[in-house]
Structure 1
Amino acid sequence: MKLPEDVRQFLARRFQSKHREWLIGDAGEDQWPLEVPLGIPTEQAALRQVDGVRAWVSAWQGWQGVGSLSWCERRWKALGVQLLPEKLALGGPEHVAMWIGESARWERAQSRYRTLTARWPVLAQPLPRYFDVLADYGDADFHRLAEMLDWIANHPQSDLYPRQLPVSGLDSKWLDGRKGLLTDLVAAIQEDSSSDLDFYQRCGLKAPPLLVRMRVLDQALRARVGGVGDITAPVEDLASLNLPVSHVFIVENLQTGLAMSDMPGAVVFMRLGYNVDVLARLPWLARAKCIYWGDLDTHGFAILHRARSYIPALQSVLMDEGTLLQHKALWVDESAQHPSTELTLLTEQEQQLYRDLKQQRWGQNVRLEQERIDWVAAWGALQRTLA
């Protein structure tokens, strides 16, 4: 026997699984109205729970809501003639939305879906994937999105920086969280299903230069760049320096790189993360010994793996089991581990440690941030790599 609350929960689940299809107009049901049986018990079942049946009937007698409630008559030997609620029929998605308190979101999503598909019919199929965008964006955000799509559709190869676009309220913060959405919708508008274009290529925009931060740890090398020791510049500019370096350090944490003292023939790159591939664009690195020091967690090893695909001889330092276990008191949780089970470019020892972290050998999502490692010991290990 379904009470009104049971029906509400059922409709909430149905809305969650079907609302995208409903937005397109493909109901996903054999037909509307959607009929929800209310679970009339048999006479034997009713005899076992007379009070429950009375409460169930009373709940529907007092019900006032959306939909058409049907009653039926049962002639039972022991209980006599009973008028019982049989089913609830709902005329369309809007009725389901009203039942579960989603009317405003449904109406807003439906209205915006119609607005965008009237302008670009090809969005009819991909747009429901972004139901939450249609339902939950504020008016200013939605109008900015529509205006952005319209401008890019009319200027597919502008070669402008995004902030140069004449779109009201467009700023970097707004754009950064919506690049994936814009890329997908522009691809649909262009009717191009290829997935090898990033946001800037897809939208015909100019990407901001990728800035790389590097410290020059040798006085003689600093003299070659005007005495500057801390450089943040586009990777193309760094490539043109052609520095005669003997050692290149790559560290994840900015303060770790800032803490490093002078070392002969050395430079250090900081906070590249998964952008380590940019180092392949620096031809003078090929002459140097390259050392990577990252966090002792699964992403640290994944970045090392990625870096080795561009710098095959890359060595790691302080990324071993001994270092990890010596600093157990400083462990923190890695919020989400890297999904790969194997990273083929790791050494055997590195791969084993990565596997142990994935298999929770020492606890749940163990992580040791590189800046937590004792600096005296860390600095000694870094200096030993010069030998």
Structure 2
Amino acid sequence: MKLPEDVRQLLARRFQSKHRSWLAGESGENQWPLKIALGVPTEQAALRQVEGVRVWVSAWQHWHGPGALSWCERRWKTLGVQRVPDTLILNGPDEVAQWIGEGTRWKQAQSRYQTLIARWPLLARPLRKYFDVLADYGDADFRRMADMLAWIASHPNSGLYPRQLPVSGLDSKWLDGRTGLLKDLMAAIQGDAANDLDFYERCGLKAPPLLVRMRILDQGLRTWIGGMGDITAPVEDLARIHLPASHVFIVENLQTGLAMSDMPGAVVFMRLGYNVNVLAGLPWLTHAQCIYWGDLDTHGFAILHRARSYLPGLRSVLMDEDTLLRHKALWVDEKEQHAAAELTLLNETEREVYQGLKQQRWGQNVRLEQERIAWDTAWPTLQRLVGTL
């Protein structure tokens, strides 16, 4: 016997699994009307739980909501003629959504979906996965999104910076969290199933220059460029310096790079993350010994792998099993591990640690952040390394 709350839970699960296909009108020929049997008991079952049957019947007698409720009569030898709830009939997604308290969201999502596909029919399928955007965006955000799609569709190669677009309310904060959404929808509007361009390429916009931060750890090298020691600049500008550095460090944490003292012939790049590929645009790096020191986690090794595809001679430091185990008290969780099962550009020692992390050899999602390694251990190690290269 299904009580109204049981039906609500059943419909909530169905809505969760089906609402995106319902939004696109992919309900299936035989899905509606949706008939939910309420579990009329046999007489023997009713006799075993007379009070439960009374509660069940009463709950449906007092129920008011979307859909149609059908009743039936049962002629039982002992209990006599009983009128009991038999089937709940729902005629479409609107009624399901109302049943579970999602009526307002569903109505808004459906209205906005129809508005967008009327303008851009190619959005019919990709919009399904953005149900929450359609349902939950405020009116101003939704209008801004539609206006931006419209402007870019009309000016596919403007070459403007995003903030230059004549779209009301557009600012960097609004845009930062929505580039993936806009890229996907523009790819659909443009009929590009591959969708392998980044946001700026897809929208015909100019990307802000990627700023790279570099510290020069040698007084002679600082003199080479007028005494500057801490530089943040586009990589194209740094490429023109032709700095005669002998050792180049790449570190993930900003404060790690700031803590480094003077070292003959050395410079340090900080906090590049997966953008390490920009260093391929610095021709003077080919004449230096390049050293990578990242976090001891799967993403740290993935960045090393990526960097090595641009800097084949890149060496790693303090990314070994001994360093990891000696700092066990400082481990934290890596929220989400890198997806790759194998990183082919790691050397044997690095690969062993990466595999150990992936296989949870030392614990669940182990991570040692670079800056947690004691400085009186790290700095002498870096100095010794430079002395041997």
State the TM-score, normalizing by the size of structure 1.
0.97
Match of 2:272 in 1: 272
Once the 2 structures are TM-superposed, how far is the Cα of residue 166 of structure 1 from its aligned partner? 0.7
- For 1:372 and 1:178, locate their aligned partners in 2 and report how far apart those are by CA, in whole Å: 33
SS of 1:309's partner is helix
Moved more, 245-254 or 302-311: 302-311
Equivalences for residues 120-269 of structure 1 within 5 A? 120-269=120-269
Identity %: 76
- For 2:254 and 2:185, locate their aligned partners in 1 and report how far apart those are by CA, in whole Å: 36
- For 1:101 and 1:213, locate their aligned partners in 2 and report how far apart those are by CA, in whole Å: 51
- For 2:29 and 2:375, locate their aligned partners in 1 and report how far apart those are by CA, in whole Å: 64
Contact 1:251 1:293 survives alignment (8 Å): yes
Once the 2 structures are TM-superposed, how far is the Cα of residue 123 of structure 1 from its aligned partner? 1.4
- For 1:331 and 1:191, locate their aligned partners in 2 and report how far apart those are by CA, in whole Å: 47
What code does the residue aligned with 2:2 have? K
Once the 2 structures are TM-superposed, how far is the Cα of residue 121 of structure 1 from its aligned partner? 1.8
- For 2:256 and 2:318, locate their aligned partners in 1 and report how far apart those are by CA, in whole Å: 13
- For 2:329 and 2:232, locate their aligned partners in 1 and report how far apart those are by CA, in whole Å: 35
Matched, 1:378 2:383: no
SS of 1:144's partner is helix
Contact 1:252 1:270 survives alignment (8 Å): yes
Equivalences for residues 26-175 of structure 1 within 5 A? 26-28=26-28, 30-175=30-175
- For 1:362 and 1:32, locate their aligned partners in 2 and report how far apart those are by CA, in whole Å: 53
Match of 1:300 in 2: 300
Contact 2:184 2:195 survives alignment (8 Å): no
- For 1:238 and 1:296, locate their aligned partners in 2 and report how far apart those are by CA, in whole Å: 29
- For 2:330 and 2:16, locate their aligned partners in 1 and report how far apart those are by CA, in whole Å: 42
SS of 1:44's partner is helix
- For 1:149 and 1:238, locate their aligned partners in 2 and report how far apart those are by CA, in whole Å: 35
SS of 2:290's partner is strand
When residues 8 and 29 of structure 1 are mapped into structure 2, their CA distance, relative to the original with a 3 A threshold, is: farther
Once the 2 structures are TM-superposed, how far is the Cα of residue 29 of structure 1 from its aligned partner? 5.7
What code does the residue aligned with 2:237 have? D
Equivalences for residues 312-331 of structure 1 within 5 A? 312-331=312-331
Deviations 1:305-348 (A, max 9, x none): 11111111111111111111222222222121112222221121
- For 2:269 and 2:254, locate their aligned partners in 1 and report how far apart those are by CA, in whole Å: 9
- For 1:198 and 1:91, locate their aligned partners in 2 and report how far apart those are by CA, in whole Å: 43
- For 2:194 and 2:371, locate their aligned partners in 1 and report how far apart those are by CA, in whole Å: 41
SS of 1:385's partner is helix
Once the 2 structures are TM-superposed, how far is the Cα of residue 58 of structure 1 from its aligned partner? 1.3
- For 2:367 and 2:190, locate their aligned partners in 1 and report how far apart those are by CA, in whole Å: 44
| Gaps in structure 1 of 5+ consecutive residues | none
- For 1:353 and 1:89, locate their aligned partners in 2 and report how far apart those are by CA, in whole Å: 58
Once the 2 structures are TM-superposed, how far is the Cα of residue 71 of structure 1 from its aligned partner? 0.5
Match of 1:361 in 2: 361
Q: CA RMSD in A?
A: 1.2
Match of 1:339 in 2: 339
Moved more, 18-27 or 267-276: 18-27
Contact 1:66 1:95 survives alignment (8 Å): yes
Once the 2 structures are TM-superposed, how far is the Cα of residue 167 of structure 1 from its aligned partner? 0.7
What code does the residue aligned with 2:301 have? F
Contact 1:21 1:28 survives alignment (8 Å): no
Contact 1:22 1:28 survives alignment (8 Å): no
- For 1:261 and 1:63, locate their aligned partners in 2 and report how far apart those are by CA, in whole Å: 75
- For 1:32 and 1:365, locate their aligned partners in 2 and report how far apart those are by CA, in whole Å: 46
What code does the residue aligned with 2:127 have? L
- For 2:200 and 2:288, locate their aligned partners in 1 and report how far apart those are by CA, in whole Å: 33
What code does the residue aligned with 2:281 have? R
- For 1:160 and 1:19, locate their aligned partners in 2 and report how far apart those are by CA, in whole Å: 38
Once the 2 structures are TM-superposed, how far is the Cα of residue 379 of structure 1 from its aligned partner? 0.7
- For 1:195 and 1:63, locate their aligned partners in 2 and report how far apart those are by CA, in whole Å: 49
SS of 2:383's partner is helix
Once the 2 structures are TM-superposed, how far is the Cα of residue 31 of structure 1 from its aligned partner? 4.1
Match of 1:16 in 2: 16
- For 2:369 and 2:173, locate their aligned partners in 1 and report how far apart those are by CA, in whole Å: 28
Once the 2 structures are TM-superposed, how far is the Cα of residue 57 of structure 1 from its aligned partner? 1.1
- For 2:349 and 2:114, locate their aligned partners in 1 and report how far apart those are by CA, in whole Å: 57
When residues 76 and 29 of structure 1 are mapped into structure 2, their CA distance, relative to the original with a 3 A threshold, is: farther
